[in-house]
Copies of this chain bind each other. A is one copy, B any other.
Amino acid sequence: MTFLILFGGSSFEHEISIVSAITLKDKIKKHNLKFVFIDKNRDFYLIDKENMKSKFFSTGEYKKSTKLEITKGGFKYKKGLLKKEEYLDFDVAINLIHGRDGEDGKIPGMLEFFKIKAITPNIESCAISYNKVLTKLFAKLRGVEVIDYEIINEPKTKFDFPVIVKPARLGSSIGVSIARNQDEFNYAFDVAKEFDDLIIVEPFIEGIEEYNLAGCFANEWIFSKVEKVEKKEFLDFEKKYMDFSRKETNLNSIDKNLEEKLKENFKKIYKDEFENALIRCDFFVKDDIIYLNEINPIPGSLANYLFDNFEEVLEKLANNLKEEKEIIIDYQYINKIQMAKGK
């Protein structure tokens, strides 16, 4: 199978996406890979596998690569002096664009519009996971607990300090801060406001445990191992980023009962909403209650490190992609109107 990995994008997580794609290059060995980079100006480039190094992008060298255009069924480019149009050959695309463009629904919508088979969340599931308020409403609808929250227009809250202040629409902890007093709250509010007009605040709960679980439905439920996230207090964007290509994770066996409960909650979120995507749900656990913290519809390097058989998971998902419904357009209403008009 040939996978086409779409990465980059006009996103605060543009660079994470590059690192994600480079990571997958090393992790996927059984299948063929093609790499399509979307640069900050939203131009598409076909990147040779041997050029999949971070410097190739940061230096702008990528601009010498073949330019592509997205079109029905895939991507095309102009070949040779005669500028003959050629189409890239691949089986399934993988949307690996974190944050804006990839996770806000733009690329998913374009892939569907152009009938490009892809491992990707769809538009609606992007909207739900991209906006933390919608995530909370959706989780409650599905019977999954979430941490209480408040939408704020100024640094005032019903919660006692410490609190966490978050822009509603960004991933990867960008613009998120903890505030332990009013001064910190004022500052945290301003920081969040730089990234989004919609700001939420949550109580910061000491001693809460975080567990990550990735998975998908591909004719059967497929789950990763559960990762217990060890962190001193809170990873800001930079720490999380520098930590991104980590090799070691805490995958010691966790309580079987807790693991089952996490999977049940994962299913409630994923079912009939996240088809065609490999997602990671980040849960909090406190006093035996499981809370959904966030849904990553395109987790960093597709959370490959959590799976024993990552390539097999990708293959199964690729072979079980649900297609958009066919809509028959036969102009029967226009024909009726014309008949009624006697035309």
In the complex, are the beta carbons of B58 and A334 less than 8 A apart? yes
Cα distance A198–B275 in the bound complex, in angstroms: 14
Enumerate A91-129 residues with CB–CB distance to B below 8 Å.
100-101, 104-110, 112-115, 123-124, 126-128
In the complex, whether A133 has a CB less than 8 A from a CB of chain B is: yes
Cα distance A335–B197 in the bound complex, in angstroms: 30
Q: Which residues of B contact A127 (CB under 8 A)?
A: 105, 123-124, 126-128, 134
Describe A's contact surface by its main secondary structure. Answer: helix
Q: Which residues of B contact A27 (CB under 8 A)?
A: none
- Size class of A's contact patch? 35 or more
The one of B18, B110, B241, B327 that contacts A106, using a Cβ cutoff of 8 Å: B110
Q: A11-B327, A42-B113, A272-B197 are in contact. Are A131 and B137 (CB under 8 A)?
A: no
In the complex, whether A204 has a CB less than 8 A from a CB of chain B is: no
Enumerate A20-46 residues with CB–CB distance to B below 8 Å.
40-43
In the complex, are the beta carbons of B141 and A123 less than 8 A apart? no
Enumerate A129-162 residues with CB–CB distance to B below 8 Å.
130-131, 133-134, 137-138, 141
User: Nearest chain B CB to A7's CB is how many angstroms away?
Assistant: 13
In the complex, are the beta carbons of B238 and A333 less than 8 A apart? yes
In the complex, are the beta carbons of B338 and A54 less than 8 A apart? yes
Pairs across A and B, CB under 8 Å, 21 listed = A15-B331, A40-B327, A42-B114, A55-B334, A55-B338, A55-B343, A58-B334, A100-B327, A101-B113, A104-B109, A105-B105, A106-B109, A107-B109, A109-B123, A110-B110, A110-B113, A123-B126, A124-B134, A126-B127, A242-B333, A242-B340
